[in-house]
Amino acid sequence: MPAAETPQIYLITPPEFDLGRFPAELSRVLDVTEVACLRLSLATRDEDRLMRAADALRDVAHRFDVALVIDTHVVLAERLGLDGVHLGDGARSVRTARKTLGHDAIVGAYCGQSRHAGMTAGEHGADYVAFGPVSGALGDGELAPPDLFGWWSEMIELPVVAEGGLDVESVRRLAPMTDFFGIGEEIWTGDDPSAALLALRDAML
DSSP annotation string for 119-151: HHHHHTT-SEEEE---SSS-TTS----HHHHHH
At residue 137, the pLDDT reads 57
- 8-204: CATH superfamily: Aldolase class I (3.20.20.70)
C-beta atoms surrounding 101 within 10 Å: 20
Dist CA 13 CA 183 (whole Å):
9
pLDDT, tens only, 25-62: 999 999 999 999 999 999 999 999 999 999 999 999 99
Question: Which residue ranges make up each domain of the chain?
Answer: 8-204
At residue 3, the pLDDT reads 47
pLDDT, tens only, 94-143: 999 999 999 999 999 999 999 999 999 999 999 999 999 998 755 567 89
Dist CA 55 CA 120 (whole Å):
32
Would you say 1 and 26 are in contact if contact means Cβ atoms under 8 Å apart?
no
Q: Which of 1-10, 38-47, 89-98 comes out lowest in average pLDDT? A: 1-10
Dist CA 117 CA 129 (whole Å):
9
